[in-house]
Structure 1
Amino acid sequence: MKTDHEQAFEIFDETLSNSELFDHVEFKKVAGLPFVYLTVKDRVERNEIEAALKQCAAKAMRGKRLTLAMSYVRKNQALQVYRVRFLVPQRKMFCCGNLCDDCIRFTDP
């Protein structure tokens, strides 16, 4: 069974590959960090690329408790490189006494 994080990356990869803005999409892990190498079609601006990345990430994160951390790395001719990470929220380890909705007292071990 796959985790939400793994499922999100699969959906993200699939939706990016099906996008009309990109000719080729490749994922690489360098030093444990995921990078997306995008070969874009002609005359696509950076803001359009980032909007497409955010839209694909939103589809991947739907129904999961994940957040997106995305940063532009570099451009080399038609190749765009972005670092894209899905962050998993930390869980509380103790009761702080503030009557939180997600209090550790209300979860099964």
Structure 2
Amino acid sequence: MDIEVIWKLFLKMLCEYDSVAQATYKKSAGIPFLYIHANEHPSKNELEKAIRQSAAGAMKGKQLHSETEFIRTEDHLFVFRHRFYVPQRKMFCCGNVCPDCIRLKNQE
């Protein structure tokens, strides 16, 4: 799975919202930052909802998670730290009878 394909689909879906004029991302020191240029003055919550819905659409059918954190705003520019990541799986049994225990996966 190429994460660049996920990012392109995510940005395309995000730009379909009326409140978003343009959406781009750039990595600084290995951390991806999402830059959203808004058409009008949307609320931060409105943009976060659009980000969540677009990320869900881009990740559909894939074992990915996303994480978004608001950084700053300036006029019509909103900056978020947004990343897609593969969840870590357990590699050993801790003995607590967890529902996702590695021992139980071998029995299925």
TM-score w.r.t. length of structure 1: 0.79
Among 15, 35, 38, the residue aligned to 1:37: 35
Kept in 1: contact 2:93–2:101 (CA 8 A): no
Tell me, what secondary structure is at the counterpart of 2:45? helix
- Which whole-Å deviations, capped at 9, do the CAs of 1:62-92 have from their partners, x for residues lacking one? 1112222100000011100001111211133
Q: CA RMSD in A?
A: 2.3
* Structure 1 match to 2:81: 83
What is the CA–CA distance in structure 2 between the aligned matches of 1:81 and 1:54, rounded to whole Å?
Answer: 15
How big is the shift at 1:21?
Answer: 1.5
Worse-superposed segment, 86-95 or 23-32: 86-95
Match of 2:66 among 47, 68, 77: 68
Instruction: Give, in whole Å, the separation in 1 of the partners of 2:53 and 2:100.
Output: 29
Query: What corresponds to 1:103 in structure 2?
Result: 102
Report which stretch shifted further, 70-79 or 14-23: 14-23
1:7-55 Cα offsets, whole Å, 9 max, x none, are 4222212211232211111110011011111110113111111111111
> What's 1:93 paired with?
91
Q: How many angstroms apart in 1 are the aligned matches of 2:80 and 2:48?
A: 9
Distance in 2 between the 1:49 and 1:28 partners?
A: 18
Which residues of structure 1 form unaligned runs of 5+?
A: none
CA distance in 2, matches of 1:102, 1:47: 37
> What TM-score, normalized to structure 2?
0.80
Deviation at 1:96, TM superposition (A): 4.7
Amino acid at match of 2:55: A
Name whichever of 93-102 and 8-17 sits farther off: 93-102
